[in-house]
Amino acid sequence: MISIIILNYNAGKLLIDCVTSIINSKLKDFEIILVDNCSSDNSHLDCKKKFDSIKLIENKENLGYCEGNNVGLRAAHGEFIMILNPDTTVTSNWADELLNSYHKFGEGLYQPKILSMSNPKKLGTAGNIVNIFGFGFSRGRGEMDENQYNKIEKVGYASGTCLFLSAKTFERIGMLDSFLFAYHDDLEYGWRGSELGIKSYYIPTSIIYHAESFSFKWKPFKFYLLERNRHYCLLTHYSRKTFYKILPELILVEIAVIIFYTSRGLLFEKIKASLNIIKNRKSINKRYNEIQQNREISDKEIIQNFSDKIIVPIELSKSAQNSLFLNFIKNLSRRARKKIMSQNL
C-alpha cells in the first residue's frame, strides 16, 4: 500500500482536482491522508465531503510544510510513502512508474517529471540540483519539454512537490526538519539522505502537473525562508572542517547575495534571515551534532553530486546583473570544490 500525504492550505478547487486525479489513476492499493493547515476556505471540508474515504487531519494552526507533512507521516500505514502537493494533478500510471523504479534501483528518494499545469508542454522540474553553497534549483524549469530529459537519472535531490520513498527509507532518514517551515525542505531531506548513502532519482516516465507556488509565490516571505534555510543547511550538513575550509568563499557569496537581495528591494529579508540564524544558533548546533553523528558519507564524496552553477528563475532575471552574479557564484564554487576535494577525510 502507498500512503499519499497531501498537505492543504487554502488550495481551493485545486485540492479536489488533485484527489480526483489520484482516484482516477491506475493506482489501487492506497490511502489518502489529507492534512489541513488551518485553511479558511473550507477546501479540506469540501474534499472530505466529496471523498469520504480519505482520512482528514485538521491542524489547529498553520504548522508549515515540514511539520504539517510530519503530522501526516506519523499517521501513515503504507509500505510506501508519497508526499504530494495539493496543487498537482497526476497521470494514470504516475505511481506505478515510481514503484517500478524503486523495485529496479532500490532504496532512494524518487520524483516524477513535473510539468506546468498552465502549459503542459513546459517543464517545472526534471530533477533538482544543489549548489555547493546550498542554493537549490529545478533543472529544466521553464524549458519546453522536448524529451531532452527523458532518461532516468540520479539527481541532487528529489522535489518535495511529489516525493516517493519506502517506509523503510523514511525510517532511516527521519521526519522533515520542522525548523525550515517551508522551502529547501526537500533539499535538506535529500542532503540528509545522501549522508546515509541514499540517492535521489528522477523518473521521467512518471508525470504530474503542478500549478506552481500557489501559496507564497515570489513574496518577500519566500525570499526570507529560502535564504534562512540555505544557511541552516550549510551549518548543519557540512562538517566544521569543511565549513571553515571554504569560509573565505562563503563570505564572498554572502556579499554577493546581499547585493542581489538589495537590488530587488529585499535587504530587510536578508537581514532578518541572518538574525534568525543567530537567534537559533544553539538549536542549530544541536541539530548539527545529531546529523554529524549519524552520517556515513563524507562531504568530499557528497559534493561530487553538487553543482558549481546556479540558475535564477526567469521571473527574477535581470540580464547583465544576473549574469555577473551567476558567474561569480560559479567561479567561487569551483574554488570551494577544489578545497573540499583536497581534504584528507
pLDDT in tens, 1-41: 999 999 999 999 999 999 999 999 999 999 999 999 999 99
Question: How does residue 322 score in pLDDT terms, banded at 50, 70 and 90?
Answer: confident
Q: Is the pLDDT of residue 90 over 80?
A: yes
- Is residue 19 within 8 A of residue 44, CB to CB? The reply is no
Alpha-carbon dihedral angle through residues 80, 88, 36, 102, given to the nearest 10 degrees: 10
Q: How far apart are CA 98 and CA 104, in angstroms?
A: 10
- Is residue 297 within 8 A of residue 304, CB to CB? The reply is no
Q: Is the pLDDT of residue 321 over 70?
A: no
Q: How far apart are CA 90 and CA 25, in angstroms?
A: 8
Beta strands in the chain (DSSP E): 2-8, 30-36, 55-58, 80-84, 88-90, 108-116, 123-125, 128-130, 136-138, 153-155, 162-166, 199-210
Q: How far apart are CA 126 and CA 115, in angstroms?
A: 9
Least confident interval from 175-184, 250-259, 314-323: 314-323
Q: What is the mean pLDDT of residues 293-312?
A: 94
- Is residue 90 within 8 A of residue 111, CB to CB? The reply is no
CB atoms under 10 Å from CB of 241, counted, come to 12
Q: Which set of grid coordinates corresponds to residue 156? A: 541532487
Phi, psi of 168 (to 5 degrees): -65, -40
